[in-house]
Amino acid sequence: MASQASLLLQKQLKDLCKNPVDGFSAGLVDETNIFEWSVTIIGPPDTLYEGGFFNAIMSFPSNYPNSPPSVKFTSEIWHPNVYPDGRVCISILHPPGEDPNGYELASERWTPVHTVESIVLSIISMLSSPNDESPANVEAAVSLIISYLQPTCLSYLFVS
């Protein structure tokens, strides 16, 4: 008998196949394992990632949707919210409830209403708007901050 998680994932896969979403594609890594998905994200326009294709693996726990999946890029990506090993660090992928570090509100963390589509759209949003206040990759965050400051500093020097 199929579990609630596998039935829900089968439905989400069917929905995505029937109604593809711009900006990404998703499917199973192995047709015999509904709990491991392959995702390809197209770099969003007007970002450093524009035109790129970024592959990731989304692994679902057996108690999905009560617990979040993990997402790990298999393509190299330099981003403040992606650990150097490729793991994605965004609030909606953190376990539900209160944040033990007090940084995130419970409402920002995982809730069972999220779907594969909403997760991937959140990752695309992360690519467009990095959170440099709580970086998973400090070097990428510093690099990003410096790249934003340089044009401002240069224009200040030329205007002064």
Query: Residue 56 to residues 9, 29, 111, 133: CA-CA distances in angstroms?
Result: 17, 10, 21, 24
- In the annotation, is 17 catalytic? no
Tokens of 10: 């089968």
Q: In what order do the strands lie in the sheet with 70-73?
A: 24-28, 36-42, 53-59, 70-73
**What is the C-alpha separation between 71 and 65, in angstroms, rounded?**
15
User: Can you read off the two tokens belonging to residue 141?
Assistant: 């965050």
Contact 106, 76 (CB under 8 A): no
Give the separation between CA 54 and CA 43, rounded to whole angstroms: 7
Q: To 10 degrees, what angle do helices 4-18 and 116-128 make?
A: 60
Selecting among 58, 71, 89, 123, the annotated active-site residue is 89
Kindly state the DSSP code that residue 13 receives in the 8-state scheme: H
Task: Please identify every residue annotated as catalytic.
Answer: 89
